[in-house]
Amino acid sequence: MKTLKTLLMLLSLPLVTLAQTLTLDECQRLAQENYPLIKRYGLIEQTTGYTLANISKGWLPQVSATAQATLQSDVMSFPDALKNMMAQTGQELKGLSKSQYRVGVDINQTIYDGGSISGQRNVAKLQGDIQSAQNEVDLYAVRQRVNDIYFSILLTDERLKVNDDLQILLESNLNKLNAMLSNGLAMESDVSSMKAEQLNARQQRTELNATRKSLCRMLAMLCGKDEILLVTKPLNSIISQGNNRPELKLLDTQLRLADAQEKLLDTSLLPRMSIFAQGYYGYPGYNTFEDMFSRKWSLNGLIGARLTWNISQFYTNKGEKAKLQLQRQQTENARETFLFNNNLQQVQQNEEIDKYRQLMEDDANIVSLREEVRKAAESKLANGIIDTNALLQEINRENQARIELATHEVMMLQQIENLKYTTGN
């Protein structure tokens, strides 16, 4: 028995010396940091920054350059009587040319926009916050994937421990049977039965090791690690009250966006004021009378102030606000539905936790009783009262009871972590 136990310890020694032990919290953090969606935060931030910068440029002077050439069917001209009279003096009154040209610049500077630019910035920022909140919801789902793999590894570890104990127990009884065989107190078939059961236990360990290796690879990929071989049991901690799920943050941000959009609608009802300047080089200029005598290009310019008020916004304002109110109601309904389903899930998970705790209490008693029965069976075998098969049945029953205890413990811890996931704590 000591030899087998020492061998099993040596087999697990490289894992302890070379592997890094990771807790569940560390795996969840590493998985979220390694998941490709994490890069989306930076992209959203950059996009929102560009959008806000572009909106803010609405306060900069708006400059436009124009070049225009026209050919008109008719232009302003002198009366025929005046033309005839001037012709008698030797002067020709040409009037304006039907071909007209201009190259100019228009500059417009907003000085009051009713809060439109500020409202647009607030809406754009909240839209970026919604994208980030949605990304957080998507990333949060990675936590559940980590939980499933992590606890599968823990369950496999517990079964490996039970398997180790089983092999030690089988080795001990095999040694006893060999001694009894030497003394003529047991048959060769008894030893063969024990060896077959021992080989069966080794096969189970091989399968468990293969399963564990596969699970560890998956967890390492999620966490961005080359290798993860050791994990630790999370604490059986009390769940804190409250709900901090990222979905609620997303819904709250959507409600704030609706408020910001409504304020932006209000700004569309206010007038705008700006100052402007126009200048161009071309023909004709502002001095039309002079250009009727001389068809020369000239520099022309004007400055002024402009007040605009888009009255048509009153036509649609009420309907747009009604649409926003419907959006709020839909968001509130989504929030109510989410909390309702979430609370149902919490009730179910709390019941599962209580169930596993009760099962573990019974499991501990069953293991103790099965151990007593197995020891009694070993004594009966030594005294020739029962055969090897009867002892193997008791050994397997005890082993199954230990598996049930280990399974229920891991399942309870997993339900606790699932409850933390459900509440966002």
The string of pLDDT tens digits covering residues 82-141 is 777 777 776 777 778 888 999 999 999 999 998 999 999 999 999 999 999 999 999 999
Give the integer Cα–Cα distance in Å for 425 and 415.
14
Model pLDDT for residues 332-350, shown as the tens digit of each residue: 999 999 999 999 999 999 9
Asked if the structure places residue 258 within a domain, the reply is yes
Asked if the structure places residue 299 within a domain, the reply is no
Task: Taking residues 182-206, report their average pLDDT.
Answer: 92
Asked if the structure places residue 287 within a domain, the reply is no
Predicted structure pTM score: 0.81
Omega prior to 271 cis, within 30 of 0: no
Task: Taking residues 225-234, report their average pLDDT.
Answer: 87
Q: Given a cut of 50, is residue 12 above it in pLDDT?
A: no
At 80, is the pLDDT very low, low, confident or very high (cuts 50, 70, 90)? confident
- Domain tally, the chain: 1
Asked if the structure places residue 238 within a domain, the reply is yes
Position 80, amino acid: D
Q: Given a cut of 60, is residue 16 above it in pLDDT?
A: no
What range defines the domain where residue 187 resides? 2-67+115-271+309-423
Asked if the structure places residue 322 within a domain, the reply is yes
Asked if the structure places residue 402 within a domain, the reply is yes
Q: Given a cut of 70, is residue 5 above it in pLDDT?
A: no
Residue 353 CA, distance from chain mean position: 27
Give the integer Cα–Cα distance in Å for 115 and 229.
59
Give the integer Cα–Cα distance in Å for 291 and 76.
11
Asked if the structure places residue 101 within a domain, the reply is no
- Percent residues over pLDDT 90 in the chain: 70
Asked if the structure places residue 75 within a domain, the reply is no
**Beta partners for residue 305, in sequence order:** 275
- Its sign, for the CA torsion 179, 183, 186, 187, is positive
CATH number of the domain residue 246 falls in = 1.20.1600.10
Give the integer Cα–Cα distance in Å for 129 and 198.
60
Task: Taking residues 196-208, report their average pLDDT.
Answer: 95
Give the integer Cα–Cα distance in Å for 126 and 195.
70
Residue 96 CA, distance from chain mean position: 69
Give the residue among 381, 383, 411, 410 at the shortest CA–CA distance from 395.
381
**pLDDT given for residue 292 in this prediction:** 81
User: Got the DSSP string for 108-140?
Assistant: EEEEE-TTHHHHHHHHHHHHHHHHHHHHHHHHH
